[in-house]
Structure 1
């Protein structure tokens, strides 16, 4: 066993993949509340107990409301959200903005490869949540000082929640859109396997929650409208999940040119290979297999499930499709942009 993969803490060996000096210092300073419940186990002793306790938690215990949006407490806190608002963007920063289940993990793979000229070292040695952290999540505060410029980040924030420094910087944005019908399907399966979220119920029930905005980060239509109506000019690039599935090398060329990298065709092909669904599904730094099953139960559904376009056709009934399309059309009436997919 390589000593480089572990850290010593008070004489105890801990894996670096899940622990850091900063996280242990944070644990020491953690403020325990009277209503907290701890599941204390020796490794591999009672993981199912933690999952059971999570399953017994109410929605109020699992989620925090932030500016009217539902966020999971497992990955967000008042401190992480304040850190996001105080975050100092630099001109060289690049942030992938993605509504949940629209291609976030893909951006966490693509950005370091493009920014580093195709060097695969980061994607092979650093978990995606540390190499391209979420702006709003707890991990950012623990890793930000180790990030080298140009920094890659991702966020699920709508435009109006971006911090003040973002607006005064020249940081670039890649906004990824995905057919909302496929988003619903992907999110449905994610809620099945994520133990820190409410179970989705039936597909019909979950679709209604999605349309009402009673899901992570609110309504998809609100998110899209907020980012399609910005005045960021040449600071923002729009791309779709479907474009990347159809022709990943072409999408990578667009991203490379947008970021001023002008990568060679050889580098583009190498990056495309590293960012293929099959490669990412095998990469433990990208497929979330490092996350304990008490948080994400891959036996229920793999985190990287299919990565295809059009899986909604296997789930929507004609009645559900009519209802879904009607609501989305109505909420986008009067907008000065059109969707790149048919809602029918």
Structure 2
């Protein structure tokens, strides 16, 4: 694995992904496919598990049929791990797929077929904190240390999958033009049942309250952390080295306070205001 980033269409991307950009861009979505898109470390795996449970009427056994990364393939990594392109093309419709690509770099076939997109956004401070810890494990991203340099790179969009600001604003601005359901990580934490019901409705599933409650229970952080089919514990080691820390770390709101100094928080806040001033998007930022 090459621990380098390169620029693709104005976005920082791992060299190992960038070298296969044409295949990613030309990915052929089908009518009925659903795309789960997020900026990294914003609740992606959580939403993957929720959606699979919704599509399978809350049946825990069916959702333990395979690891979550096989049940919901990651389109940027189809050339690096299983399931590969051939297996994904052979999957029956409707397929649920995952991506971290910003809205303008989502393969055009998704928009051409008017596919539904579920987007999860998490507040910037918790995202960068979680991403810093995650990049300690990710084998195709540069070493994130030291933290203060990583924080600067994040603010400049010089981390994998580019600018958090452009990412969250891009999908927010496009949500009225396409079938995009915009969900906030913090709302999912605070009112899981309501948010799960919203996702189910968006997917055309009318589930009874007891099933929704079952899905909420099966998708809690603690339950998923102890479910080997949901916690990515057997994710390919050449991509994700989990020898020091597990994939699922804390899943909390407000964990940024363990990392930011007072001065870093002030600098970040000034930069945040500047980068978000042109958008109506607001987050419940934990102070």
Instruction: Check whether TM > 0.5.
Output: yes
Per-residue CA distance 1:272-320 (angstroms, 9 max, x = gap): 1221111211122222221355543333222100011110112111111
Q: What residue is the counterpart of 1:310 in the other structure?
A: 254
Q: Distance in 1 between matches of 2:254 and 2:31?
A: 37
Q: Distance in 2 between matches of 1:89 and 1:195?
A: 28
Matches within 5 A, 1:135-214: 135-138=75-78, 139-214=83-158
- Aligned residues: CA RMSD: 2.1
Against the structure 1 CA distance between its residues 332 and 130, is the aligned structure 2 distance closer, same or farther, given a 3 Å change threshold? same
Deviation at 1:206, TM superposition (A): 1.0
Deviation at 1:145, TM superposition (A): 3.0
Q: What residue is the counterpart of 1:224 in the other structure?
A: 168
Choose 213-222 or 159-168, whichever is displaced more. Answer: 159-168
TM-score under structure 1 length normalisation: 0.76
Matches within 5 A, 1:1-344: 59=3, 62-74=4-16, 76=17, 78-79=19-20, 81-138=21-78, 139-230=83-174, 232-233=176-177, 235-291=179-235, 293=237, 295-335=239-279, 337-342=280-285
Q: Is the 8 Å Cα contact of residues 114 and 178 (structure 2) preserved in structure 1?
A: no
Q: Is the 8 Å Cα contact of residues 14 and 141 (structure 2) preserved in structure 1?
A: yes
Deviation at 1:193, TM superposition (A): 2.3
Could you list the runs of 5+ residues in structure 2 that have no partner in the other structure?
A: none
TM-score under structure 2 length normalisation: 0.90
Choose 225-234 or 126-135, whichever is displaced more. Answer: 225-234
The count of aligned residue pairs is 283
Q: Distance in 1 between matches of 2:141 and 2:108?
A: 30
Choose 280-289 or 214-223, whichever is displaced more. Answer: 280-289
Q: Is the 8 Å Cα contact of residues 249 and 272 (structure 1) preserved in structure 2?
A: yes
Deviation at 1:214, TM superposition (A): 0.9
Against the structure 1 CA distance between its residues 205 and 122, is the aligned structure 2 distance closer, same or farther, given a 3 Å change threshold? farther
Q: Which has the larger radius of gyration?
A: 1
Could you list the runs of 5+ residues in structure 1 that have no partner in the other structure?
A: 1-53
Q: Distance in 2 between matches of 1:326 and 1:313?
A: 17
Choose 210-219 or 89-98, whichever is displaced more. Answer: 89-98
Aligned-partner SS, 2:135: helix
Which gives a bigger RCO, structure 1 or 2 (Cα 8 Å, sep 6+)?
Answer: 2
Choose 267-276 or 209-218, whichever is displaced more. Answer: 267-276
Q: Distance in 1 between matches of 2:119 and 2:274?
A: 23
